[in-house]
């Protein structure tokens, strides 16, 4: 009777775990978008729109880090990309997305009251107790933003592996569309982030440090994965290290 090798079983388990992490990260990302969207529909004032944009990026309320959905998605997608070719990674991301969206939509029923409470505490603006459900337009914006960010993360991974800038062409095109469909642009939240760092805001400063730390950890993980999967490359690195130490 044929028996699977332990290494194959371990790889299968790794894939399941990384795909599950991708789904969980997608759910967090979409939950923040879907939870904030009803605020914009209930009171379309400039102050509420600005607060909703801040909240969905973790920059309003009591978020312990800015851009939590972006951090989680970047880490999860990167780890999944280390376990297989780009095509397989893309397929897994797409397959798990519907479940993540459904989970986020269900959880937004609790998330929207939290966002409304944070709005009242921060601005004194009280919204109706019965708030609308997330709109189709809001859901599409969240999905498009998630897709753009995921493609960017995969482009970073591919560019690092191939030593090429060409993989960034796809996220650049998607970013143009993102700027057209959403008034809250990268310049807006980067400017807010920068001003809060300059003011010494603890969460803003910690979030900035977390960006560098996460980027470094993911780069190290990619380097180690490449050494394991490419013996000639690993041997060349070892020879270079030996030569440089002499």
pLDDT one-digit tens code per residue, 196-234? 999 999 999 999 999 999 999 998 988 887 777 665 444
Q: What secondary structure, in 3-state letters, does 111-168 show?
A: HHHHHHHHHHHHHCCCCCCCCCCCCHHHHHHHHHHHHHHHHHHHHHHHHHHHCCCHHH
Give the pLDDT confidence of 133-191 residue by residue, as tens digits. Answer: 999 999 999 999 999 999 999 999 988 888 889 999 999 999 888 878 776 666 678 88
Residue 65 sits at φ, ψ, to 5 deg, of -155, 145
Higher pLDDT, 84 or 145: 145
Q: What pLDDT was estimated at residue 119?
A: 94
User: If you ran DSSP here, which 8-state letter would residue 201 be given?
Assistant: -
Give exposure, 66-82, as e/b (b: 16+ Cβ within 10 Å). bbbbbbbbbbbbbbbbb
- Contact call for residues 235 and 221 (beta carbons, < 8 A): no
Query: For the chain, what percent of residues have pLDDT higher than 90?
Result: 55
Q: What pLDDT was estimated at residue 237?
A: 41
- What is each CA distance from 187 to 183, 193, 207, in whole angstroms? 11, 10, 17
Give the pLDDT confidence of 12-59 residue by residue, as tens digits. Answer: 677 889 999 999 999 999 999 999 999 988 877 888 988 998 999 999
113 pLDDT exceeds 80? yes
């Amino acid at each position: 009777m044929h028996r699977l090798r332990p290494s194959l079983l371990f790889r299968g388990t790794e894939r399941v775990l990384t795909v599950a992490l991708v789904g969980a990260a997608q759910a967090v990302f979409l939950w923040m978008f879907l939870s904030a969207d009803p605020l914009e529909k209930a009171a379309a004032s400039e102050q509420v729109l600005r607060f909703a944009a801040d909240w969905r990026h973790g920059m309003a309320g009591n978020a312990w880090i800015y851009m939590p959905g972006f951090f989680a998605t970047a880490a999860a997608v990167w780890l999944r990309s280390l376990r297989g070719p780009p095509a397989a990674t893309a397929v897994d991301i797409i397959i798990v997305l519907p479940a993540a969206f459904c989970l986020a939509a269900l959880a937004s029923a609790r998330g929207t009251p939290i966002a409304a409470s944070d709005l009242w505490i921060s601005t004194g603006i009280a919204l109706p107790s019965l708030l609308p459900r997330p709109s189709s337009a809001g859901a599409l914006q969240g999905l498009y933003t998630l897709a753009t960010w995921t493609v960017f993360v995969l482009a970073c991974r591919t560019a690092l592996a191939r030593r090429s800038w060409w993989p960034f062409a796809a996220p650049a095109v998607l970013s143009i569309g993102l700027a057209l469909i959403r008034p809250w642009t990268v310049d807006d939240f980067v400017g807010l982030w920068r001003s809060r760092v300059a003011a010494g805001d603890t969460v803003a400063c910690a979030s900035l440090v977390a960006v560098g730390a996460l980027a470094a950890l993911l780069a190290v993980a990619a380097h180690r994965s490449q050494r394991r999967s490419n013996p000639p490359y690993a041997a060349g690195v070892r020879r270079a290290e030996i030569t440089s130490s002499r």
